[in-house]
Structure 1
């Protein structure tokens, strides 16, 4: 196994992590900005007003995209397990 193959494996894993985090966190960030603008316009400074909707949205994203995320993760592990003989030998 040379460093090129190892670099490709780590790059695939890091890309998957970025995709997974992006799918779960990006909608919460967008909602957080919208709520912050609303709070700035109305001068309401309630912490739960920003926390609870982001929590609910993140849980909904896990619910709706969870099967796709698990499929992507299991595809990566399947690829790694199938490439074990090539990596070792």
Structure 2
């Protein structure tokens, strides 16, 4: 196993991580921004008002995009496991 192979595997893993995490992080961040603006306008600073919408947004994104996330991760793991003989030998 060369250093180039290690860097390639690591780069692919980080790219996949960002690709899979971005929809959830983007939705939660957008909802958090909207809730923060709402709290600033109304001067209501309730902790559950910030937490519950973020939780609902995350669950909704997981429900909608979850199957794509799982198939993407399974494909990457399958490719990684199948490449073990070429990496070792």
Normalized against structure 2, the TM-score is what?
Answer: 0.94
Q: How does 1:55-74 map to 2 (within 5 A)?
A: 55-74=55-74
- 1:4 corresponds to: 4
Alpha-carbon shift at residue 22 of structure 1 (Å): 1.2
Aligned to 2:36: 36
Q: How many residues align?
A: 89
User: What are the superposed Cα offsets for residues 14-53 of structure 1, whole Å, 9 maximum, x if unpaired?
Assistant: 1111122211111111110111011101111111111101
Superposition RMSD in Å: 0.8
Determine the C-alpha separation between the residues in 2 that align with 1:14 and 1:24.
16
Per the normalisation by structure 1, the TM-score is: 0.94
1:78 CA displacement? 1.1
4+ long deviations beyond 3 Å:
none
Higher relative contact order, structure no. (Cα contacts within 8 Å, ≥ 6 residues apart): 1
Aligned to 2:24: 24
- Specify every segment of 5 or more residues in structure 2 that has no aligned partner in the other structure, as ranges: none
Q: Which runs of 5+ in 1 are unaligned?
A: none
